[in-house]
Amino acid sequence: MHGISFDIAHMLAGFLVLLSFLMLYQVRLLPLLHVLAAHAFVLALSVAWQAYIQHAPHLYITAAIALVFKAIIVPVALRRMVFRMGIHREIETVVSIGLTMLAGMALVALSLEVMLPLTAKAEPVVREDIALALSVVLIGLLMMVTRRNAVSQVVGFMSLENGINLAATGAQGMPLVVEISVAFSVLIAFIVIGIFLFRIRERFDTVDIGVLDEFRGGQR
Amino acid sequence: MIEAAAYCVAALLALAALGVGVARYGPGRSTIYAASALVCVALMWIGIASLGADAARMKLPLGLPWIGVNFRLDALAAAFLALVGLGGASASVYAIGYGRHESEPGRVVPFVPAFLAGMTLVVLADDAFAFLFAWELMSLSSWALVMAHHREEGNAHAAYVYLIMAVFSGLTLLLAFGLLAGPQGSSPGGFTFAAFRASPLPPATVAIVFVLAMIGTGSKAGLVPLHVWLPLAHPAAPSHVSALMSGVMTKVAIYGFIRIVFDLLGTPSWWSAVVVLVVGGVTSVMGVLYALMEHDLKRLLAYHTVENIGIIFIGLGLAMAFWANGLAAGAALALTAALFHVFNHSVFKSLLFFGSGAVLTATGERDMEHLGGLIHRMPKTAFAFLVGCVAISALPPLNGFVSEWLTFQAIVLHPDLPQWGLKVAIPADGALLALSAALAAACFVKAFGVSFLGRPRTTQAAQAREVDAFSLASMFTLAAICLLAGVLPGAVIDALAPVTQALVGAHMPTQMDRAWLSIVPIAEARSSYDGLLIFFFIAVSAWATALAVHRFASHRLRRGPAWDCGFPDPSPATQYTAGSFAQPIRRVFGTVVFGSRETVTMPPPGDTAPARIEKHIHDPAWETFYAPVAAAVGGTADWMNVLQFLTIRRYLAFVFVALIMLLLVLALWQ
Amino acid sequence: MIRDLLLPDMLIEGVQMASVLLLAPLLTGLVRKVKARLQRRQGPPLMQPYRDLRRLLGKEVVLADNASWLFRVAPYMIFAVTWVAASLIPTFATGLLFSWSGDLIAITALLGSARFMQALAGMDIGTSFGGIGSSREVMIASLAEPAMLMIVLTVALVAGSTQLSTIAVFLASPEAGLRVSLALALIAFIIVALAENARIPVDNPATHLELTMVHEAMVLEYSGRHLAMIDLASFLKLLLYISLIGCLFFPFGIAQTGSGLQHHLVALALWLVKLTIGGVFLGVFEMSIAKMRVFRVPNFLGAAFMLGLLGVLLLFVSQGM
Amino acid sequence: MNALLSALPPGFDPLLGVLVIPLVFAAILAMLPAYRISAGLNIVASLGSLACAISLLFARPPPHEYLMVDDFNIVFILLNTFIGFTTSTFSASYIAHELEIGRLTAWHLRFYHAMFQLMLFGMNLALVANNIGLMWVAVELATLTTVLMVGIYRTHEALEAAWKYFILGSVGIALALFGTILVYLAARPVIGEGMDAMVWTTLVEHARDFDPSLLNIAFIFLLLGYGTKVGLAPLHAWLPDAHAEGPTPISAVLSGLLLNVALYALLRFKILIAANSSAIAPGPLLIGLGLLSLIFAGFMLYRRRDIKRMFAYSSIEHMGIIVFAFGMAGPLGNLAGLLQMTMHSLTKSAIFFTVGHVAQVKGTQRMADMGGLTTTHPLLGWLLVAGVAAIAGLPPFGVFTSEFLVVTTTFAREPVLAVLLIFGLLLSFGALLLRLTEVAFGEVKGPTGPVHASYLPVIAHLSLVLVAGIWLPPPLVAWFQHVAALLG
């Protein structure tokens, strides 16, 4: 189990990080959704590759879920939402793009630094894989923190989930339990998000959380 | 004996529980109070009977299993047990009558026995857990009592400050006990006082424990600047509770101090004596100066409690100073003086609070500016109150003088001490003690003169009625004790001998077998005092003179209007008020200590409007220590309150930053 | 200390108690006479105070309508307490029969009791002048008493006792010597004595201006026998203080326990001389100084307080730390 | 008791009972339209779970791949089912009133009851899970159901609170999952691939051989992930709002149970990390977060105007103390933490029960509109006073005992930390007392109508806390001490 197969896995994981950076770079919603789709697609590829090299056919299901659900359904749904609400023209970041990118770099550096002292017991594969997955997770979180619009926050959250998926599938022989739970939870998470977005839209005519905050009131 | 005391506590707790049910009914209330009076008498008797006996122990399988609840009745505990019993009994008897006028009996009756039980338990406790449990129970139940008249303005604030300070003291003591217990706390018997005594501590630890004990018990006892709750809480509580809080609870706090510093920590270092002396001296003078600025009768009394606590701490500091230098006789003398004053203050302060309660019942007023002339309407209360005033002013032949005299005798012994710090601190304390005694006399001239003498300033005062027999009985009993302890101080000193013997390993010479019942602290040539003879001489010569004058000179008497230099004014408003009475002293001391100012607004010439004088007083303790803390907490709370109203994104940012920080910590740690 | 009740002891005690009582008005008369002569007046005769007392005792009492029992009891109490205090002082002989029943601190406190009663009595009628008097009296006392106790402390530390007899014996003995502390204490004591006896510059016993009164304002409402008792008490108090000065600072010639009758007689004579000198000094002093404003009195007494404290602290310097 | 157990049908497993009963009843309740019956059934189901939990004390099944019961989690299970039961009885009277005033509809109630049981199921599952994956799933299930319950009133504030809870919770979920995966990765080289590497009992056996660096990172993620659920500052943001805007029984459950469940998960992993000597010491991290929560909550308490939100902050404070105690570790520290947790759960849920009724009487949660409660509603008012006294750590209540242990053991070892600790305690006490004074005493404010309260749960909880303050049964303490030893 060495050589080219792992190189390909790494390449895919690295690509995922790259796409995460691309997400950070995108300031408009629609391209962001495209990148999200690409992100999920690469994840699906990666999972499928893992399924292949680990001879773990159940991972194909995960790959399929990633492909169908995350790469197609969700981006499409979000795209519709964006159009319906007429917010496809703009997306404001809180922190400037340059700074965000810099922060992203720092996060990648941090995750590598944290993973470096892994002892020889753990395979180097794991070390690098997890470092990349950690980067994706952290960048996803950064995305959530630096964007004000709910749609882009959802995007951030999903890229975070993708990172976790990457880690989970990279872990050899991780029992099915986790796989299903990941998919399951993402599903539920998304459904509930949907419910909430719906309700919130119904009441507030927007999904901008900033507007939500106006209802804080002073009575606490 | 100790079992009996435990049963008494159980009985008090049962009375508290019963009180919840019967507080609504007048006879029920009286029964509860009467029963608690009986239990307290039993406690007093137990205390007195076990003064000379060996320490008795008892362990109940309650609390934490590896500690249990340990009780111990040694001489010190017995002395304070007697004190709690005496205070509790007098307050309970007083309350039988006073409680009839209670507007919120349901908020008072159940808590009084609980409060008494709490105080008894503190005295009996022999492990840190039981001690603190009882300590906080005492605070909590008295808090409820302070809160009883919660709708009156200021009471809620008073109760608030009170409980905060009480919990502060509890937590400070918690730290002290934590240090005393060390890491062996989980071993069986880890938190018992016996274990504390057995394990010697390094000097630095002892120093910290001492400071913590000083703060912890001092804030309960009312050391300046930790005294702020006293003048707030005492007026707010019903008067019998004020008496208990002031007369007994502050003494229980002093018990805590003695227990920790004298018993658990062992021989002190001389600098700790200096600390106690300085704090005690400052407290005594500050307390009385505060009192002089007051015209609320109960607040005035509360400030005098602060003063007397200071005097007691001076005595304790002296005892520590002598003990630290191995002068057991001096230590015994000073400790006896302190304990004697504890007893005295308990008695006369209860008496005075009862008196102020009687005035409150009769007139509905605590403000002295609205009183006056009560000696005519309430002669018995006035007499009892006068006895209390003379006693607290440390005037012979009553008891207050004896304990301050003993303290002075200890001060005179101080050249035997080698340390320069003590040589300077003790005479200075002597000066402060003298100053506070003189000021106290001035203050009680004011208190008695303005409230009871002169002409009534309001109709309430003019229509006051003498209070009921129970209240009077309680007051007169205490007044009698004031006199008895004043003329027979030897009995009290001898009773305290086992306590000092147990704590500092020496006791004052036996006094009661001396001829003429005089007291001699060290040696005849040095000093002696005979309250009985002095009292006898004064009484006989006054009586004989009066008799002789009436018999041989003249006994004719004519009533007429007051002369007043020919300008008698019918309005009682022209009398001296409490504010005007204290004005000279306010000018002498107040401008420095309280930054007091007076502004006089005169009407323009020709205008008949009255001129107005306004006085402004700052409370240095509050403004130096408490206001900044309150402002800091409030400011920080305001500043942090923004965190309640952030956007979800910002909250996520917190999570994110926390994650990054922890990862950075990890990276650095590796 | 407590011997068998011996006749000589009882006799000495009796002489002491009677003599202080009998001599007190004379001393005041002397002071008044000295002052009058210095003012180039004839002045009242030396015996005038006795006549005044007799006259007052014979008169009926006019009591204000709202006077309470306290007002009537106070004069006797004040007198009795002062007399007891005076009889505890070894004026001419130490080891009086009952001198051990109260030491210097107790004497100070007894005088405090007298003042307490007097200040209360001043407030009883509810007039403004009574209030003024009481208020100022306690203000003065609140400084004078601590100063007095500092003096007591100084003396007690020197003599190793607070018992007057012991102190007098010690200070009369050659080992006492001359000390700076004692000199400071003496100055402080004189200041305190002036204040306590309502003398110029603190108070003016002869004033008729109500607003400047302290002691007199308190007793304004008294008349007849009550006033007589109060006057007698203040005479006694003056004697007491002068005797104290004699006993503490000039104890030479004082008769010791067990010494013979003629020694006692000599001591008695010496005491009379001391009293006379004290009275003359007082008269001269009062004539040579003006009364202070009330609010300068605290500084005056504060000085006494500080001198007393300084005396105590200097003791350690002289004894070595 | 054994006789009773033998009377049960053979093959009945109380461990399964704890799980199956809530699950089955959740399904039944979801279908039942009649709210009175369903409220009753809710109680019955909770009682059933409680009975099963109690029987677990006597007959404990051996651990297997998915489920297990040991000395440690049985404490939590008992507490959980007990408070679940009392809350369900409180809920019956509370919900009736909500229905009366039209705040909830019958449909809502169906949903509510079903969710209630589902939530209990989730929490019980999290507690008995022997598999870190399963535990994670269960915690998430419990979270999601509570999210739905918090939003049930559908007011702006409720939705906002639910949304906040949901977003922050989801992030927490994700972080915890990442941590769980890392634990698996650390375990795999030692234990081998597959399910075994996620089974708790196996993991803890081999923990000392795991790669410490992986464990470190895993612990940080788990700490933040589950710490979000515990409500530690600065991860707490969801907690006050979720408590304040949801129905009061849910607030009680959140404070009394859900926080404990998350804490339980955290402690499990703490044991794991502690077993590996070269991994980072979890103590300082816990102590730091605990103190931060305590002091932070102390300051936040001062400016609260909503009574439920205030007690939510008090929960943050207490979670801070508990985590601090576990961070101090040692026999006394852990014992104190366990005691504090138990006492806090009982007391805080009792407080929420009373607060729920108070809010119903006054028709508001604003404390400024309440006042003089002890005058108008003596029993309710004094129960609130007792509850606050208990939560503030005053005797004769049990929190005093645990705080006694925490402070003394800390001061003996780390004096500076103890000073910070008592600073925090005093700070939060000051704030709580200030508001209590305002609400329970003083002039009467707001409506004074009669209250149809179910006092029984409140009294039951407070009596337990009271008894614990006076007397802790030696077997209980021995058991807690044993658990404390397990915690290291």
- The most confident of the ranges C126-130, C237-241, D472-476 is C237-241
**Tokens 């005179």 correspond to what residue?**
B412
Average pLDDT value for residue range D194-198: 81
Q: What is the pLDDT of residue C186?
A: 92
**What single-letter DSSP state applies at residue D173?**
H
Contact: D160, A192; criterion CB under 8 Å: no
Residue type, B96: I
Of the candidates B273, B289, B136, the one whose C-alpha atom is nearest the C-alpha of residue B224 is: B289
% of chain D beyond a pLDDT of 70: 98
| Residue D176 near residue B659, CB atoms below 8 Å | no
Pick D404's closest partner by Cβ from B62, B129, B648: B129
pLDDT bin (cut points 50, 70, 90) of residue A205 is: very low
| Residue B304 near residue B393, CB atoms below 8 Å | no
Q: Which residues contact B626 (CB under 8 A, 6 or more apart)?
A: B228
ω before D189 within 30° of 0 (cis)? no
Q: Which residues contact C275 (CB under 8 A, 6 or more apart)?
A: C23, C27, C239, C242, C243, C246
Contacts B633 to D, Cβ<8 Å = 299, 302, 427, 430
Contacts B411 to C, Cβ<8 Å = 153
| C-alpha distances out from residue D450 to B417, C223, D94, D373, D397, Å | 71, 70, 14, 12, 29
Minimum CA–CA partner of D468 in chain B: B63
Q: Do chains B and C touch (3 or more CB pairs under 8 A)?
A: yes
Does residue C291 carry a pLDDT above 80? yes
Tell me which H or E stretch contains D201: helix D200-206
Contact: C116, B446; criterion CB under 8 Å: no
Which of left, alpha, beta for B605 (phi over 0: left; psi -120 to 50: alpha)? beta
In this structure, what token pair is assigned to residue B282? 């400052």
CA angle, A15 as apex, A13 and A19 as ends, to 5°? 120
b/e C88-111 (16+ beta carbons within 10 angstroms → b) = bbbbbbbbbbbbbbbbbbbbbbbb
Q: Quote the distance between the C-alpha of residue A71 and its chain's center.
A: 11
Domain hosting A53: range is: 4-216
In this structure, what token pair is assigned to residue D152? 């049930």
Query: What pLDDT, in 10s, does the model give residues D366-394?
Result: 898 888 899 899 999 999 999 999 999 99
In this structure, what token pair is assigned to residue C109? 């406190």
- The pairing of strands B612-616 and C61-64 is unpaired
Size of the A and B interface in Cβ pairs below 8 Å: 45
Q: Which residues contact B484 (CB under 8 A, 6 or more apart)?
A: B399
Cα separation, D393 vs C14, in Å, equals 69
Residue D388, judged by CB atoms within 10 A of its CB (0-12, 13-18, 19+), counts as buried
pLDDT bin (cut points 50, 70, 90) of residue D12 is: low
Distance from CA of B650 to the nearest CA of A (A): 7
Average pLDDT value for residue range A172-184: 60
pLDDT bin (cut points 50, 70, 90) of residue A201 is: very low
Average pLDDT value for residue range A52-63: 80
Distance from CA of D30 to the nearest CA of B (A): 32
Cα separation, B121 vs B137, in Å, equals 9
Cα separation, C202 vs B452, in Å, equals 29
% of chain B beyond a pLDDT of 70: 100
Distance from CA of D138 to the nearest CA of A (A): 10
Query: What pLDDT, in 10s, does the model give residues D302-347?
Result: 999 899 999 999 999 999 999 999 998 888 889 999 999 999 999 9
Residue type, B597: R
Average pLDDT, chain D: 88
Cα separation, D435 vs D421, in Å, equals 22
- The most confident of the ranges B176-185, B197-206, D465-474 is D465-474
Q: Do chains D and C touch (3 or more CB pairs under 8 A)?
A: no
Q: What is the pLDDT of residue D3?
A: 47
| Residue A145 near residue B652, CB atoms below 8 Å | yes
Q: What is the pLDDT of residue A180?
A: 55
Average pLDDT, chain A: 75
The stretches of D365-443 forming alpha helices (DSSP H) are 373-376, 378-391, 398-413, 415-440
pLDDT bin (cut points 50, 70, 90) of residue D49 is: very high
Tell me which H or E stretch contains B445: helix B420-452
Residues linked to residue B56 through DSSP beta bridges, in sequence order: B73
Contacts B543 to C, Cβ<8 Å = 76
b/e C263-291 (16+ beta carbons within 10 angstroms → b) = bbebbbebbbebbeebbeebbebbeeeeb
Contacts C139 to B, Cβ<8 Å = 442, 584-585, 588
| Residue B585 near residue B288, CB atoms below 8 Å | no
- The most confident of the ranges A42-51, B414-423, C274-283 is C274-283
Backbone angles phi, psi at B70, to 5 degrees: -105, 135
| C-alpha distances out from residue A71 to A33, A190, B205, Å | 9, 13, 66
Residue type, B619: D
Q: What is the pLDDT of residue B283?
A: 95
pTM: 0.93
| C-alpha distances out from residue C180 to A209, B360, C159, C183, C186, Å | 86, 54, 14, 5, 10
B669 interfaces chain A, CB cutoff of 8 Å: no
Q: What is the pLDDT of residue B232?
A: 93
Cα separation, B414 vs B408, in Å, equals 10
Contact: B656, A212; criterion CB under 8 Å: no
- The pairing of strands B69-73 and B557-560 is unpaired
Average pLDDT value for residue range B516-525: 82
Minimum CA–CA partner of D213 in chain A: A118
- The most confident of the ranges A188-202, B189-203, C179-193 is C179-193
Q: Quote the distance between the C-alpha of residue D413 and its chain's center.
A: 28
| C-alpha distances out from residue D122 to A187, D134, D342, Å | 18, 10, 20
B665 interfaces chain A, CB cutoff of 8 Å: no
Angle between helices B111-124 and B250-257 (to 10 degrees): 20
Pick B554's closest partner by Cβ from C60, C141, C295: C60
pLDDT bin (cut points 50, 70, 90) of residue B553 is: confident
* Predicted-complex ipTM score: 0.90
Tell me which H or E stretch contains B335: helix B328-363
Contact: B651, D331; criterion CB under 8 Å: no
- When divided into structural domains, chain A yields a total of 1
- Long-range (24+ apart) CB contacts under 8 A made by A111-119 are A111/A135, A111/A138, A111/B663, A113/B667, A114/B663, A114/B666, A114/B667, A114/B670, A114/D213, A114/D217, A115/D213, A115/D217, A116/B670, A117/B670, A117/D213, A118/D211, A118/D213, A118/D214, A119/D211, A119/D212, A119/D213
Contact: D171, A134; criterion CB under 8 Å: no
For residues D333, D336, D341, D342, the Cα torsion angle rounded to the nearest 10 degrees is 150
Average pLDDT value for residue range B568-585: 86
Residue C18, judged by CB atoms within 10 A of its CB (0-12, 13-18, 19+), counts as exposed
| Residue B247 near residue B88, CB atoms below 8 Å | no
Average pLDDT value for residue range B192-217: 90
Contacts D194 to A, Cβ<8 Å = 173, 175
A145 interfaces chain B, CB cutoff of 8 Å: yes
The stretches of D8-105 forming alpha helices (DSSP H) are 14-31, 35-58, 71-100
Does residue C317 carry a pLDDT above 80? no
Residues linked to residue B336 through DSSP beta bridges, in sequence order: none
Domain ranges of chain D: 282-488
Q: Quote the distance between the C-alpha of residue D277 and its chain's center.
A: 30
Does residue C319 carry a pLDDT above 80? no
D75 or B189, which is more confident: D75
Contacts B655 to D, Cβ<8 Å = 168, 171-172, 175, 224, 228, 234-235
Of the candidates A142, A126, A122, A117, the one whose C-alpha atom is nearest the C-alpha of residue A17 is: A142
Of the candidates D333, D238, D234, D215, the one whose C-alpha atom is nearest the C-alpha of residue D289 is: D234
Query: End-to-end alpha-carbon separation of chain B, Å?
Result: 63
Average pLDDT value for residue range D33-58: 88
Distance from CA of C81 to the nearest CA of B (A): 6
In this structure, what token pair is assigned to residue B221? 């006892």
Backbone angles phi, psi at B82, to 5 degrees: -60, -40
Disruptive mutation site among C54, C127, C151 for chain B (greatest number of B CBs within 10 Å):
C127
**What single-letter DSSP state applies at residue B247?**
I
Minimum CA–CA partner of A56 in chain D: D194
Tell me which H or E stretch contains A72: none
Average pLDDT, chain B: 91
Contact: B649, A145; criterion CB under 8 Å: yes
Does residue C208 carry a pLDDT above 80? no
Query: What pLDDT, in 10s, does the model give residues D88-117?
Result: 999 988 888 888 888 888 888 888 999 999
pLDDT bin (cut points 50, 70, 90) of residue C2 is: very low
- The most confident of the ranges A113-122, A206-215, B324-333 is B324-333
